[in-house]
Amino acid sequence: MKLDASETHPSDALLPLGEVSVRVWNAKYRSQGAGGDQSIEDTWRRVARSLAQVEKSDCEAWERHFYAALEGFNFLPGGRILASAGTSRRATLFNCFMMGSIKDSLGGIFEALKESASTMEQGGGIGCDFSTLRPRGHQASSVAPVAPGPLSYMNMWDSMCATILSSGARRGAMMGLLRCDHPDIELFIEAKRSGENLRHFNLSVLVSDEFMAAVEADTEWLLVFPIDRTGAGTGDETVARRWSGSTVAQPCRIYRRLQARNLWTKIMAATYEYAEPGVIFMDRVQRDNNLWYCEHILGTNPCGEVPLPGYGACNLGSINLTRFVRAPFTSAAHLDIRRINATAAVATRMLDNVYEASRFPLKKQQQVAQVSRRIGLGLTGLADALAMLNIPYGTELSLKLAGKIMRTICESAYRTSIEISREKGPFPDFVASKYRRGEFVSRLPKGIREGISRYGIRNSHLTAIAPAGSISLLANNLSSGVEPVYHFQHLRRLHRENGAFETVGVSDYAYRLFRHLFGPDAPLPPAFKTVVEVSPHDQLAVQATLQRYVDNAISKTITVPAGFDFKQFCSLYQDAYRLGLKGCTTFRPNPVTGAVLLEPAETVVMETACCPRPEHRS
């Protein structure tokens, strides 16, 4: 499907690029030096040309179509693509990676640390599952009689990340993961209580269906670790578990027994009190994986929107919904679904071309990424678009429209991937008879499933919803991803390339557009809502509605008020599990991490890593 560049947004001429957007472009996305970008149009042209050169024919035509998608911020590729495509930078175009399984030996640990450093040096955020490291206090080896445990080694990663950032490299983030049955899980849960430790990590617990059932039934839960890594003494009790990094169940030594509900309460109390850790429903992630037949998911990227195997990569882009609202704020306001469909088609091809246009920090990452060619096409500006359409966020009408939008993006992406497969061939790990039996794929429309059987599909996964923080700021400060608007006006602290910070005032895009159209004194319509006016359960409902059409996952933080009842807070996570989400993260203002939401004149939102922490994470 082609995109007609002659169609423009009716308010194109109304709002020039704001000061904060210009600053973000200069600091993060502008190609500097001789022959560099002199305008944002140059940036779009550079990216369009770089990705079009991958095509074997009609390169100039595809460059025009790609430019039309990028122009005016209709489509926002991931930040690494915007910053580095078509430049001489030694940087990857992939935003984030899941690192490989960490071998439980000193050599294995330092090799994993080196690979992580190499990845972050090129700008990639990383996810690491530390579940393979033996628990604290266990016999380690003849030269190191007592194991320090995963948390000690995570401090090494944290220091490495700080060192990489201080060197001036592009900023990345890290996700630290631990299984809910690892003997050190309680230490992991408490790791960030002081606010001083693991500051460069997001933390999430890998939660199993068995654990959730035990929580529901209030039964016993076992903390275990594989015997082949620790040995087992006479009389040690064992149980079979499929451990991280393994494809088969293996005998595990039982370290301790506790009540599942007590452990769950500890997780809930920690995230209630200091916003970490989040939870990932790992069995659901495995079941819903389109590549269930040939890969094992180890964890997620730092914001949780892309579950990945070891050395897997996330290749992201977001459709800016505000660009498709016609006659905003009027009784005739409507969404141009046809144009969203067309833009999603072009964006899918652009993201597929990233595989040939990008370098990879590690050879293993290239090998793993190429066999699946997974992409994550999503959306941003949802809250602003709803306000422009006079629809309050979280209402039944907003849920219905959000579902329609994401279904359109999903089906357009799948149909396009089938067409690219017909032209260029399917992803190497494609097996039609097995791929079609996947839980997500089997729910797709019949015509798409038939197309997959006949022509294959170019990309194993196609949809994800990222936080889209920096790129939304670039595009005139849209509401990020699927989040409600935080404040219509506030201060934002930006990280500059030279390491310094600067604080600038920003206005939400929809708010600014409304003021431009109707004046500074016009009362805001009821559809203008900030996050404090949207209940946590309504936020969860929006996320659940979108997840039906997302084959990867969604980065969404459920924001709750400081006085939110703890019992209700716990129910959010149980509702997330029942609603079919792949993970859940919340943020409540607290003494440890502070309050993200203050009075508008005092609000300072810090622009940090490629993947924000901890406010935007699934």
The residues that are catalytic are: 301, 303, 305
- The DSSP secondary structure of 31-85, one letter per residue, reads --STT--SSHHHHHHHHHHHHHTTSSS-HHHHHHHHHHHHGGGSEEE-HHHHHHT
Phi-psi region of 72 (alpha: psi -120 to 50; beta: other; left: phi over 0): left
Rounded distance, CA 158 to CA 138, Å? Answer: 23
Q: Do β-strands 583-587 and 557-559 pair in parallel, antiparallel, or remain unpaired?
A: parallel
Question: Does the N-terminal peptide bond of residue 135 adopt cis geometry, omega within 30 degrees of 0?
Answer: no
**Count of residues making up the chain:** 618
d(CA 536, CA 539): 5
**Residue 298, SS3 per DSSP:** coil
Q: How far apart are CA 481 and CA 377, in angstroms?
A: 12
Residue 43, token pair as written in the block? 């940036």
Contact 178, 129 (CB under 8 A): yes
Burial class (CB in 10 A: 0-12, 13-18, 19+), 534: buried
Helix (H, G, I), strand (E, B) or coil at 445: coil
The rounded distance, in Å, linking the Cα atoms of 441 and 449 is: 7
CA nearest to 475, candidates 435, 521, 509, 505: 509
| 610: its two tokens | 């490629």
Handedness of CA 452, 457, 461, 464 (dihedral sign): negative
Extract the tokens encoding 2: 């082609």
Rounded-to-integer distance, Cα 427 and Cα 441, Å = 15
Interhelix angle for 260-274 vs 209-217, to 10°? 100
DSSP state of 139: B
With a CB cutoff of 8 Å and minimum separation 6, the contacts of 611 are 95, 96, 125, 172, 173, 202, 301, 302, 303, 467, 617
- Which residues on adjacent β-strands are paired with residue 460? none
CB 117 within 8 A of CB 164: yes
- Is the alpha carbon torsion for 282, 382, 352, 116 positive or negative? negative
